[in-house]
């Protein structure tokens, strides 16, 4: 049920961003801004070991815990790169407006 709620919310956010809705863009940027921290935390899990509760949950889903965390690192690193790209674009655009 949790995954369905996340899928619905993610779809709504994606549609909002595509339509440049005033509420959607700041939420998406805030979510992307957190990605470097999430990527570091996931990388730490790969180094220190996946916590037992998370490992059990991933195994129940049929996923090797290390693979699941590695995918999380990659996904978060991609989000961090998108955030950095947005930040550079925003800074360049605002610098030209001064």
CA 14 to chain centroid, in Å, comes to: 13
- Determine the 3-state secondary structure of 63 from DSSP: coil
Are the CB atoms for 72 and 42 separated by under 8 Å?
yes
| pLDDT of amino acid 43 | 92
Are the CB atoms for 39 and 76 separated by under 8 Å?
yes
**Can you give the pLDDT of all 98 residues of the chain as single tens digits?**
777 898 999 999 999 999 989 999 899 888 888 999 999 999 999 999 999 999 999 999 999 999 999 999 999 999 899 889 888 988 888 886 66
Residue 32 structure tokens: 């992307």
Residue 98 parent element (H or E): none
| pLDDT of amino acid 68 | 93
- Determine the 3-state secondary structure of 23 from DSSP: coil
């Amino acid at each position: 049920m949790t995954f369905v709620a996340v899928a619905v919310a993610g779809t709504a956010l994606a549609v909002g961003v595509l339509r440049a809705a005033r509420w959607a863009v700041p939420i998406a940027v805030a979510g992307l801004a957190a990605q470097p921290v999430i990527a570091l935390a996931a990388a730490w899990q790969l180094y220190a070991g996946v916590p037992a509760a998370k490992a059990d949950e991933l195994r129940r889903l049929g996923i090797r815990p290390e693979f699941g965390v590695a995918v999380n690192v990659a996904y978060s690193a991609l989000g961090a790169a998108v955030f950095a790209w947005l930040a550079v674009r925003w800074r360049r655009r605002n610098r030209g407006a001064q």
